[in-house]
A and B are shown apart, each in its own frame.
Chain A
Amino acid sequence: MGQALQTFTRRATLKTPVIMRGYLTLDALLMAELVTGDVSHLLKRDAQLYYASAAFLVDPLEEKQKASFVASMRPEHHPELRELIAPNTHTPNAPPLLHTHRSRGNVNDVAIGRARRKEAGNILNQYVAHAAAAVEWYATGHAEQVWQVVQDIAFIGKKRSAGYGEIDAWQVIPGHLDGLTDDFGEPLRPVPVERWPTSATLIPSEAAWCAPYWDIRNRTKCYTPEPR
């Protein structure tokens, strides 16, 4: 890039409540937007650890909203799924019947019975939505290039298609936090305990500290902002 790394604060003003699961670090957000696993050209990185904080709510309301969604996974409505889901039958070699009537038994029947309810029934997903003025990240990197990546992001968090986490505007604010520790010596993102600079009286917990954050293998004993 040819430019010096700088500390900066990235702020996303929210239009709607946001559902956050996990730490939603800035590096993860950039990776998702760029569809890549490496954003070291945008953010400072030291041995896989990015200097990019978790997402923090600005002026959140104390009340949290519960948001529940039902995923109706009905394979009988989607004939193509019949090939993917094992039939609930004792005659697995029977030809598929697209219009199986209930009275004709259960030959290749993928209708929802007790046995199939868990994997192919109504699945209730419950979330907690937070109403806040904005979401902030603190990081060390190339602020201008990061802004160019995030400026087109219209939604963050989960259940974006349902309207949660809509962004009103992105801002860059000059900041002094490096993305790892705040002014009180507390972590701004999950940092493995062996890489934490001070031996503080922080509370360790298990968390993913490097991408991909969904991979269980990347979880370890970390100091975190708060367990999420």
Chain B
Amino acid sequence: MNGADFLMQHIGYRLLPKAMHTGDAVTDANALFSISLPLHTGKTLRLSSCWWVITPDATYTSVKAIPETGAIQGQLRQAVILSSLKTGLPLLILAIGKSPIYARDLFVTYDPRATRYCSDRSLRTVDSTLEKWWTP
């Protein structure tokens, strides 16, 4: 499973309007990053200046996503990353800035020793087990 598959399977298809589903995760992920999503407030906003931590069990974000997506808000990013890495499940860490992000930028983290921070045209791979915050 690649990053686009992972994203679309666990949160993307709940965010992308059904009329835009093509069945191809790469196409759909690129579409997701190029449209405006509805917020709690009723307004719409393109995905930018936010972070996402996506796991098979839960999705955490700083975006005011619509409630039906099930994405959890209001958590601290570092705490979410740490707890998600400790579960041993694959996860996707996205840091979205002002520039658009594309499916090519998505890399799943399978092991905390190769934690992958994905952002626009930039992929940072670090060994989280060597970080100070790894051990409480």
Contacts and interface: CB of A to CB of B under 8 A. Distances in A.
A118 B106 CA distance: 21
Contacts, number: 43
Nearest to B122: A126
Interface stretch (B35-43, B52-60, B71-79, B110-118): B110-118
Interface string B91-123: 000000001100110111111011010000000
A219 B116 contact: no
Interface in B1-45: 1-4, 26
Contact of A216 (B99, B103, B125): B103
Interface residues of B, number: 20
Contact of B107 (A203, A205, A217): A205
Interface string A51-82: 00000000000000000000000000000000
Interface residues of A, number: 11
A206 interface: yes
Contacts of B113: 203
Interface in A104-147: 118
A227 B107 CA distance: 11
B125 A205 contact: yes
Interface of B: 1-4, 26, 90, 99-100, 103-104, 106-111, 113-114, 116, 125
Q: What 9 pairs between A and B have smallest CB-CB spacing?
A: A219-B2, A204-B110, A227-B125, A206-B107, A205-B114, A203-B111, A203-B113, A206-B108, A203-B114
